Amino acid sequence: METAAKQLEELNLNEWLRSRRSVRRFRPDKVPAEMLDRILETATWAPNAHNRQPWRFVQLASVESREKLVGAMSADFERVLRAEGKSESDIAVQLQRSHDRVLEAPEAILLCLDIDMLDKYEDAPRTHGEYLMGVQSVALAGGQLLLAAHAEGLAGVWICAPLFTPAEVAKALELQSSWQAQGLILLGYPAKLGEPRPRNLISSLRRKL
Ligand SMILES: Cc1cc2nc3c(=O)[nH]c(=O)nc-3n(C[C@H](O)[C@H](O)[C@H](O)COP(=O)(O)O)c2cc1C
């Protein structure tokens, strides 16, 4: 009987894993609902602390919900751009670009951490560690979600902006009080696949003790 390792070798899964790209421009084609269901379900097979599965997925299917999200994030973005000394016209262009990016993506999924899933501790280091484990678990689901999309011939990108205005995002989307936005994942059929972003040599990143 073939071993799992042998099967993987034939699939060249490592090469396939390396072929995922972050994609920010999509064809207008819709993502079939069953395909999105499969992708989200695969995301939930990510490893996670205590198998507490603290991830939550908010599918922003309506224009209204996406406008609310962008509205909740744009004041902070504008403030940052202004603090960086950007001109009024540059600020307007960048705000419009981020608005259009969210509105035009065929799918937009707000990835959240449900802090009610975390164990409660009395001491601060454990509480902090438990919170980090929740964030790490949600990030693993996000990575797996992007790979599951890749497996379907889709592509996507993780957008970090919701992290900067969590309270505004929660209020605008009327999220449950325990759901904390961790990132926005845009998905769709790629307009084009970019060149790979370079990676640092593994020899510079590892140590053997
Ligand atoms: C936590 C996280 C936050 C990211 N935030 C953004 C973002 O706000 N905007 C963006 O265009 N890409 C964002 N990205 C995508 C990265 O820029 C991208 O993964 C990186 O440049 C490597 O490119 P690749 O994914 O094509 O290999 C983010 C990725 C991660 C994992």
Question: Where do the structural domains in the chain lie, given as residue ranges?
Answer: 23-189
- Of 21, 28, 176, give the one whose Cα is nearest residue 100: 28
Cα–Cα distance for residue pair 152/192, rounded to 1 Å:
15
Domain 23-189 fold is: NADH Oxidase (3.40.109)
Tens-digit pLDDT profile for the chain (209 aa)? 456 666 667 779 999 999 999 999 999 999 999 999 999 999 999 999 999 999 999 999 999 999 999 999 999 999 999 999 999 999 999 999 999 999 999 999 999 999 999 999 999 999 999 999 999 999 999 999 999 999 999 999 999 999 999 999 999 999 999 999 999 999 999 998 889 999 999 999 999 99
Give me the pLDDT at residue 11, please. Answer: 77
111 CB less than 6 Å from ligand 1? no
What phi, psi does 161 have (nearest 5°)? -50, -40
Q: Which amino acid is at 53?
A: Q
Give me the pLDDT at residue 10, please. Answer: 75
Quick one: how far is CA 197 from the chain centroid? Answer: 18
Q: What is the CA radius of gyration of the chain?
A: 19
- Which residue is associated with the tokens 């042998």? 6
User: Any idea what DSSP says for residue 32?
Assistant: P
The token pair that represents 150 in the structure block: 């890749």
Q: How many residues does the chain have?
A: 209
164 CB less than 6 Å from ligand 1? no
Query: What is the CA(11)–ligand 1 centre distance, in A?
Result: 26
Neighbours of 174 (CB within 10 A): 8
Query: What is the CA(34)–ligand 1 centre distance, in A?
Result: 26
Give me the pLDDT at residue 101, please. Answer: 97
Start-end of H helices in 152-204 = 166-172
Query: What is the CA(23)–ligand 1 centre distance, in A?
Result: 9
98 CB less than 6 Å from ligand 1? no
- Of 190, 205, 128, 183, give the one whose Cα is nearest residue 155: 190
The dihedral formed by the CA atoms of 197, 150, 94 and 199, expressed in degrees to the nearest 10: -10
Shortest-distance atom of ligand 1 to CA 21: 26
- Of 168, 192, 193, 196, give the one whose Cα is nearest residue 74: 168
Give me the pLDDT at residue 1, please. Answer: 46
Give me the pLDDT at residue 70, please. Answer: 98
Cα–Cα distance for residue pair 14/24, rounded to 1 Å:
24
Cα–Cα distance for residue pair 119/52, rounded to 1 Å:
9
